[in-house]
Amino acid sequence: MPPRPRKPRYHIVITSGPTREFLDSVRFISNPSSGKMGDALARAAVARGHRVTLICGPVCLKDPPRATVVRVTTGAEMLAAAKAAYADADAAIFAAAVCDYRPEKRAAKKLPKQQGRTVVELRPTPDIAATLGRIKQDRINIAFALEDHDGRRKAEAKLKNKRADAIVLNGPDNLHAGEATVEFLRQGDDWQSWPAGSKRRIAGRIIGQLESMLADIQR
């Protein structure tokens, strides 16, 4: 007889990749996130027997096998999908690079090019990690902070504001790269500086930390 499939240990929601916020029917603002870290996290979690819902913005990556993948474009779409998946989740990892702003108005058709200067009014988009952090109860949340200066101080503020249990600090050099250098801070602990490594290896360490935190709350 074939072996019986293992029951998933935990349901982990992972957000990944960039989002896009449209000015008109073809123009948008975004960022250079590749989604490689979120993809690596999903693959690492699945390999360790977890049920994974990967909510991913526009990226050029194949869906991780055995993960439930929800493709989205805008921050609002990512938030709605994350809320739905979070309802029965044990944990969430917010690795997506969500646009911080969206245009105040979106034109239904392509806007003609103007000869003079054009002013675009922007308004903040919802903070997905903070929004779900307010309803997390006994779930474990891990946030990401992408910073190019004063990283630890800013990451510590985000850890508190998002009500996360841990945060991963990384920099712009990690974008689109196959390897990454990160620092990890668990609520109440000291900073951990991890050696540079492949995103697959870093993802495995993050999932290991998440498993430890989940085990702690079940004791």
Catalogue the active-site residues: 31
Ramachandran sector of residue 84 (left: φ over 0; alpha: ψ -120 to 50; beta: rest): alpha
Alpha-carbon distance of 60 to 132, in angstroms, equals 27
Burial 43-65 (b: 16+ CB within 10 A, else e): bbbbbbebbbbbbbbbbeeeebe
Alpha-carbon distance of 68 to 83, in angstroms, equals 15
Contacts with 190 (C-beta within 8 Å, 6 or more apart), sequence order: none
First-residue to last-residue Cα distance in the chain: 35
